[in-house]
Amino acid sequence: MKNSLKNEKCDFGEFKNLIIPPSYLTSINQMRKDKKTDYAVLASKLGKQWTPLIILANSRSGTNMGEGLLGEFRILLNPVQVFDVTKTPPVKALQLCTLLPCHSARVLVCGGDGTVGWVLDAVDEMKIKGQEKYIPQVAVLPLGTGNDLSNTLGWGTGYAGEIPVAQVLRNVMEADGIKLDRWKVQVTNKGYYNLRKPKEFTMNNYFSVGPDALMALNFHAHREKAPSLFSSRILNKAVYLFYGTKDCLVQECKDLNKKVENWMVSE
């Protein structure tokens, strides 16, 4: 068998433009030892169509479908470019982009709105570090309960395995990039003796204040405490229904319009 494979060259198949070849990473390691950082010449050997894809999947999302997707992506791509964000935070995983040609990398986030927001926050940190030229384009495979952001961007309201993983990769290869508004929102408590510092949040083109935000917060807090209990999308929706019904009775957000000042910035 070894003799028959000696002269065979692996072309990486259909997804060669998404795969980071092991030989590329070996060469990068050698360049770093030699204190060289210009990877453009090395990448030119892989062709102009090479747009390496990094997979960031939440293994807890989508009735634990994320776990199975991680395995399938590792079969089709190089396993080193597939990350479970519950084990490797996005901030750390995205540092792989700095070993790739400028503006070449793409990222596929497999998870809900929270996971996508987590990844985009990591992209913001890349800007703070002065790594703008390495920032990747981001695609979404919606595995969460709501998936509002994914639906807004045209990636659908939810993925349940109806499309083969290979087709998902083809969709990413053919997708066009668009810009997404990211807002900085500062929340300040009013009062004469208020010693709390203002809280600053980053929002992905929309944010909620009131009962729907309270439901999402309660759901998130309980899922963090007992993630094993939130393994079904149907069950997750039932939990949302419970908190929605509870708020209708308790009315924690009553008279919220009298407590919040509204500011509109035209620029």
Q: Is residue 10, in this structure, part of any structural domain at all?
A: no
Cα distance between residue 203 and residue 211, in whole Å: 18
Q: Choose the weakest-confidence range: 107-111, 118-122, 167-171, 216-220.
A: 216-220
**Residue 140 and residue 247 share a domain:** no
pLDDT tens digits along 77-94: 999 999 999 999 999 999
pLDDT at residue 197, rounded to an integer: 81
pLDDT at residue 263, rounded to an integer: 66
**Residue 114 and residue 85 share a domain:** yes
Q: Is residue 202, in this structure, part of any structural domain at all?
A: yes
**Residue 107 and residue 43 share a domain:** yes
pLDDT at residue 87, rounded to an integer: 93
**Residue 188 and residue 169 share a domain:** no
Please identify, among 142, 174, 206, the residue that sits at the C-terminal boundary of a domain.
174
Cα distance between residue 110 and residue 80, in whole Å: 16
Counting the structural domains of the chain, the total is 2
Q: Return the higher-pLDDT residue of 257 and 165.
A: 165
Which amino acid is located at 39 in the chain?
Answer: Y
The pTM for the full model equals 0.78
pLDDT at residue 267, rounded to an integer: 58
At how many degrees (to 10) do helices 211-225 and 233-250 cross? 130
Q: Is residue 2, in this structure, part of any structural domain at all?
A: no
Q: Is residue 4, in this structure, part of any structural domain at all?
A: no
Q: Is residue 267, in this structure, part of any structural domain at all?
A: no
Contacts of 264 (CB under 8 A, 6+ apart): none
**Residue 148 and residue 193 share a domain:** no
**Which alpha helices (H) appear in 59-112, and where do they start and end?**
61-76, 90-93
Please identify, among 155, 174, 193, the residue that sits at the C-terminal boundary of a domain.
174
**Residue 201 and residue 167 share a domain:** no
Residues of the domain holding 241: 183-258
Q: Is residue 97, in this structure, part of any structural domain at all?
A: yes
Q: Is residue 7, in this structure, part of any structural domain at all?
A: no
**Residue 225 and residue 130 share a domain:** no
pLDDT at residue 173, rounded to an integer: 93
